[in-house]
Chain A
Amino acid sequence: MSERDLGELDVLFETEEVEDYAALSLAALILVFVLMLF
């Protein structure tokens, strides 16, 4: 197992939360857009 692979796994540990917030923000933005559109 190389250092690079270890680094990638560490990044995985970190980003799940960031990804969740990004998904929530993106969904909220799209929803506002949809409500304005119709």
Chain B
Amino acid sequence: MGLRGNIFKFIPGIVMMAAIAIFARGGADFGCPWWHGIETYLASDPVVKKWTVDTLHLNYILICIIVGMLIRNTIGIPGWAAPGIRTSRLFIKVGVIFLGSLYSITELANLGINAVTIILAFVFATLLFTLWLGQKLGMDAASASVLAAGLSICGVSAVVATAPAVRARTTEVVYSIATVLSFGVISLFTFPAIGTLLGLSPHQFGAWAGTAILNTGQVLAAALAFDPGTVAHPSVSLKTGQIFSLARVLLLPFVVLVIAILYSREQADEYNIKTGFWNRFPIFVLGFLAMVFLTSFGLLGPTDPPSRELLFIRNLYSWFFAIGLAGLGMQISFTELRKAGGKPLLIGAVVALLKAVAALVVVTVLIRP
């Protein structure tokens, strides 16, 4: 569903996502100072806190996703809320743009060089390994290509972007999306616990999550679960994870291009490489870069200590993420996930596990705490 048409039909779903976000995060910013958010209540009892907050990292972000998943998989999404819930990705994107207010140009350049090197190696290694494994196990070229794109770049968008280039059948697309989403959901809940267990620094965790977790929303959620940060001291994991995730998103058009070239060679097919490439450039990333420039040149006031404008924007992106991720949770259907099966699931399991372990090794060796 596009954003055209009657704007009012989006409101009920957006209100529903916002209600979940307020339930998890508290109502102080919305005129309900008496509601402190479920996270605060969990933290008030030492025993409950030890298991939920300290061990499982259940902060407002994960609570939003869990509540969303519970609603979707028990009572279901009411028809009147469905259009609004589909705007969840829009909220995440606006949040990502505002996240630009955390960086300076120098910082972005330093982080960016590390991120691009690691991401470039991982994306193309995963891509080629998945294609090779797919061929070895007798998968057809189109199925292997969509799965390879999904496992190397950013999950669902990559699968969807590659599908027309290789003329994949819809069942192959659905299998690949379900496989990628299943691993995303598993890593969302396991990565923060593993990171704590191994004593990773927030910076190392951000790099690991940004390299190994496929979906941008899930990278942000895992990073915020590991290191929630505050408005005055924003999450370091989130800052690092975001750059790694964006570096990967920016590679999407290149991967589609490589797959399209490899596939057309094999099939003697003609795919409009030029149009396919530019159609897939993630334009919202330009907003993020604009935000970095505005902050670096002091248009939003001093950064240290942060100005009122910057503090307002940082609080705002936390709300945008909370609302967007509640919607993301409501899009995770266990019935859909059960569609994952056969070879995509087997290959997905091998590749995702190898990638998580390899990324962990590379990050602990190359990234200083």
Query: Which A residues fall within an 8 A CB radius of B?
Result: 1, 5-6, 9, 11-24, 26-28, 30-31, 34-35, 37-38
Contacts and interface: CB of A to CB of B under 8 A. Distances in A.
A22 to B, nearest CB: 5
A19 B284 CA distance: 9
A34 B309 contact: yes
Given A14-B2, A18-B3, A23 B160 contact: no
Query: How many B residues touch the partner, as a band?
Result: 35 or more
B98 A19 contact: no
A27 B308 CA distance: 17
Interface string B140-165: 00000000000000000100100110
Given A5-B170, A9-B173, A24 B2 contact: no
Contacts of B170: 1, 5-6, 9
Contact of B174 (A1, A17, A26, A38): A1
A20 B284 contact: yes
Contact of B283 (A1, A24, A34): A24
Dominant secondary structure at the A interface = helix
B316 A22 contact: no
Contacts of B90: 19, 22-23, 26
A28 B283 CA distance: 14
B220 interface: no
- Name, among A13, A22, A27, the residue most crowded by chain B CB atoms within 10 Å (CB to CB): A27
A23 B169 CA distance: 31
B287 A27 contact: yes
A5 B174 contact: yes
Contacts of A37: 312
B1 interface: yes
- Nearest 10 interchain pairs by C-beta: A23-B93, A20-B283, A27-B97, A20-B284, A1-B170, A24-B287, A23-B284, A23-B94, A15-B2, A22-B3
